[in-house]
Each structure stands twice: as C-alpha cells, then as structure tokens.
Chains A and B, each alone.
Chain A
Amino acid sequence: MNYTFTLRTIYPYLGELWQAAAVTLWLSSLAIVLSIALGAGIAVLRRSRLRLLRVLGAVYVEIMRNTPLLVILYVVYFAAPAIGIRLSSFVAALLGLTLNSAGYMAEILRAGLIAVAPGQFEAAQSQGMTGWQVFRHVVFPQVFRTIYAPLGNQVIAVILASSLASAVAVEDVASWMQTVGSTSFRFFETFVIAAIVYLVLCQTVNIARLLIGRWLFRQGATR
C-alpha cells in the first residue's frame, strides 16, 4: 500500500483545531469540577448512618462505573427529550461526563476519608472542634494528600473520555478529527494530530500535577 503522510492538506483546518481544543478543555474542566462536587456528595451518602442513603450512594456508583459513558451520553442527549428535557450538545455532554465521572470521584473521595485514622477525628473532637473545624483543619488536609494522585488520574480520564462528546455533536478535538478526516480524506494525519493534542493536554496536566504536588508536600510531611 502506498500512503504518503502529508500535513499540507490539513493546514487550512488548524484554526478550527484550536477552537476544538478549547472546547475539549472547557468541557473537561467543567466536568471535573462538577463531578468532584457531586462525587463528594455521594461519598458522604456512602458514609451515612442511614442504610438507605448508603445503598443509594452505592447504587449510583455501581451504575456509573458499570455502564459505558457512550450509553450515558446517548441517554442524556437522545432519550431525555422524550420526557421533555431538551439539552444542547454541550450541556448534554457535560451532564453525561459529570454523572459518569462522579461515580469514580465518589470512590476516590471515599477512599481518602477511610484513610483518615479514627483517632484523628477523636483527637480533634476532644479538643472541642466543631464538625466543620474537624473537617477543615484535620480531615480535609489529610484526605487531599491521600487522593492527590488518584485525583490526577481521574482528571486525565475525564479529558480522554470527553472525546466521546463528539458522538452527541459537540465540536471538540475528536469531532474535528472526524470532520476534517472525512472532508480532506487525510484520516491518518488527522488521527495523529488529534492524538498529539490529547497527549499534550494530558501530559501538561500530569506534569503540573507533579510539580504542584512537589511544592504542596515539600517538607518531609509524608505519613
């Protein structure tokens, strides 16, 4: 087979690529922030004293972790209008990504909470701290340290998963790849370029995470 790799045909489409990359970044960032918030709520449910709430939290986590994101996106985008909820591509993708990622975030946060020794709560309570003070000054800093690395993994997982948003017509990097590929017939080139964009995005996040982590936890403060 004779295939000549050339970027010349792709050149005119690079302007749209930047826009697409911005969409990917914006969509992923929002989904990450929102899924941390939702995941925190679910992690708290799973530690509730009430069995019903614990079960509810567990059911949510298991549904989200055991169904393909693509299916969730389709449900949100195509099935929801049937019950009168009509969402734009972007909002549908954001909602689907958030719901899915929250399942994983909940488990990461729950693990972080479990890792705080019971004696820490007792020591803080015995000093007369309120629930909020215990959380703010004793529990959260320790949870944050524990979840820092897995949280980074999840951030990257969301960025990569956001490529499925192209299936519900969000004009992100993956969508650019398909559109430009089919109009220019240079599929191989567009695939490679898309891969590089995702790689650069994720590695930037990864390196930033490492550097920030090194700075945050600079003293010999490991447990």
Chain B
Amino acid sequence: MSEILALDGVVKRFGARTILDGISMKVSAGEIVCFVGPSGTGKSTLLRCVNGLEPIQGGSISFEGAPVLAQTASIRAVRRRVGMIFQHFNLYPHLTALENVMLAPVVVHGEARAAVEARARGLFDTVRLSHRINAYPAQMSGGEQQRVAIARALCTNPHLLMFDEPTSALDPETVGDVLGVMRDLAREGRTMLVVTHEIRFAAEVGTRMVFMDQGRIVEEGDPRQMVASASTERARQFLGAINH
C-alpha cells in the first residue's frame, strides 16, 4: 500500500504550552487510523496541523509526497485533496444542504454545476439524506447536519478524510446514524483519520488505533488487540475506564 501521509517529529506549541511533543507516524492509503485518548492531548490539533489550519513549530508533515506548509499558498493544494469533518459540523448556515455540498467543487475545483449536482445528489443517497436536500442547516438535527458535512467533504473526491470528534456534539440517538455512514465509507476502502471517543466503533472499524496522551503517541497497534489488552499501563487505564 502506498504511503500518503507522513509526520516526522511534529511539534506544536501554543505560547509556552506544548500540545504536540514530537509526533511521528506514517499513514498508507486505505488505512483507518483512530486516535483515542484523554481530552486536551492534541488529537484534534494533530488533524488540524495536517491540513494547515494550525502551523507547526517543529518537525515536518508531508502529504502525498509534498510538504504541508501552513500559511503558504501551497497549503490550498493539500486542502483540495483532504476532506475535513468537524465536531460542530460548521455547515454554511446561509446555504441549503445541497448548496453546502456543491459550493467547494464549483468554486474551488471549478467543476460544472450540473456534474457536481448529479454527484452531490448521489452523495445524499450515500448519507441517507435525500429527503433533506433543500433544508437549511438550522432546520436539521445535529446528526443530519453532520451527515451533510460528510457529504460536503466527500463531494471534492478527497484522498484523505479527517474526522474531528464527529459524534461528540450529537445526542446519543443520532450518533448511530453518523457512525453508520462512516462504517460505509470504511467499507469503500477510504483513507480515514478519526479522532473519537467511540472506542467500540474504533475497535470495530479502525485498522489502527493510536493512543495519545500529553502530546505524545503512547501506544499504537491493532484496535481490537489494544482494547482487549493494551501493553502500556496508561492506555489500559484509559481504554478500561471508558469501556466500562
């Protein structure tokens, strides 16, 4: 499998606080990497560094062989190939669900509206929201909004999907709908980075689990094996605590 993402000694600081303390990892196409660990350990920040929403203070990131440099014009080329799903959806409130999904392909990728609309309608089938195509974000539940956000990310044909706690802002009833869609995407063989507290989902769908604590990768490996018996005390403690 070909490597699409490589992080080498990535350091991220906010002022005097170190959020990421030397993160190195490689991700190959088709992998589903689930990041777990306590809040505030830099999991979300890590995703945000990958598409340059946060500049890094040390180390390097490369995506599909090219360096990721935040705050330069080159970052847009990376972002065009990476789809990001946020905890709070961040749908555009002034646009309908369909318009939300179509905006970037038309505006950023310069595709013809008709072709984009056909693809977008297909994606609404994928996320099981064809009946909500003309609704505005304010008229939709959190679960529906998050599925629109997934369709929005998919519509640009990304090579990598990043989910930043996609179900953390949802009520328990709609979490299943979103995880269901993510399961489908995993089956399609998409490359995904998922920051989540849904350990059961991570164990079932992930191809790799990365346990982070205090800005470092403490342990990584097969998700099922780690949930069953993590080799480090810290990971065992955390996974045990939220599993019961």
Interface residues of A (CB under 8 A from B): 117, 119-120, 122-130, 133, 137-138, 141-142, 145, 219-223
Q: Does B138 contact A (CB under 8 A)?
A: yes
In the complex, which residues 106-147 of chain B have their Cβ closer than 8 Å to any Cβ of chain A? 107-108, 136, 138-139
A221 to B94, CA, bound (A): 6
Q: How far is the CB of B107 from chain A (nearest CB, A)?
A: 6
Listed residue (B77, B80, B104, B138) with the most chain A CB atoms within 10 angstroms of its CB: B104
The number of residue pairs between A and B whose CB atoms lie closer than 8 Å in the complex comes to 65
The answer to whether residues A126 and B84 also contact, given A141-B94, A145-B94 and a CB cut-off of 8 A, is yes
With A129-B107, A220-B138, A222-B138 as known contacts, state yes or no: A119 contacts B86, CB within 8 Å.
yes
Q: Which residue of A lies closest to B76 (CB)?
A: A128
| 7 new A-B contacts at CB < 8 Å, known A122-B90, A130-B76 | A123-B84, A126-B51, A128-B79, A142-B93, A220-B136, A221-B93, A221-B136
Question: Within 8 Å of chain A (Cβ to Cβ): is B88?
Answer: yes
Mask for B92-108, Cβ within 8 A of A = 1, else 0? 11101000000110011
- Report chain B residues within 8 Å CB of A222: 138
Q: Which residues in B have their C-beta under 8 angstroms from that of A219?
A: 96, 136
Q: How far is the CA of A219 from the CA of B138 in the complex (A)?
A: 11
A141 to B100, CA, bound (A): 13
Is B104 a contact partner of A128 (Cβ separation < 8 A)?
yes
For chain B, the count of residues having a C-beta within 8 Å of the partner chain is 25
Q: Which residues of B contact A124 (CB under 8 A)?
A: 92
- CB interface residues, B 60-90, toward A, < 8 Å: 76-77, 79-80, 82, 84, 86, 88, 90
Query: How many Å from the CB of B26 to the closest CB on chain A?
Result: 22
Report whether A127 and B86 are in contact in the complex, using a CB–CB cutoff of 8 Å.
no
- Asked if B186 is at the interface of the complex by the 8 Å CB criterion, the answer is no
> What does DSSP make chain A's interface, helix, strand, loop or mixed?
helix
Q: Considering the complex, give the chain A residue whose CB is closest to the CB of B134.
A: A219
Q: Which residue of A lies closest to B138 (CB)?
A: A223
Whether B138 lies near A138 (C-beta < 8 A) is no
Query: In residues 14-56 of chain B, which contact A (Cβ within 8 Å)?
Result: 51, 53
Whether A129 contacts B139 in the complex (CB less than 8 A), given A137-B103, A142-B93, A221-B93, comes out as no
Separation in Å of the B73 CB from the closest CB of chain A?
A: 8
Interchain CB contact (< 8 A) of B53 among A117, A126, A130 = A126
A123 pairs with B92, CB closer than 8 A: yes
Q: Are A138 and B104 in contact (CB under 8 A)?
A: no
In the complex, residue of chain B having the shortest beta-carbon distance to the beta carbon of A117 = B90
Nearest chain A residue, comparing its CB with the CB of B88:
A119
B92 near A120: Cβ-Cβ < 8 Å? yes
Interface membership of B167, Cβ < 8 A: no
Question: Once bound together, how far apart are the Cα atoms of A145 and B107, in whole Å?
Answer: 21
List 24 interface pairs A-B (beta carbons < 8 Å), by A numbering. A119-B88, A119-B90, A120-B90, A120-B92, A122-B53, A123-B86, A123-B92, A125-B53, A126-B79, A127-B80, A127-B108, A127-B152, A128-B76, A128-B77, A128-B79, A129-B107, A133-B108, A138-B103, A142-B94, A219-B136, A221-B94, A221-B136, A221-B138, A223-B138
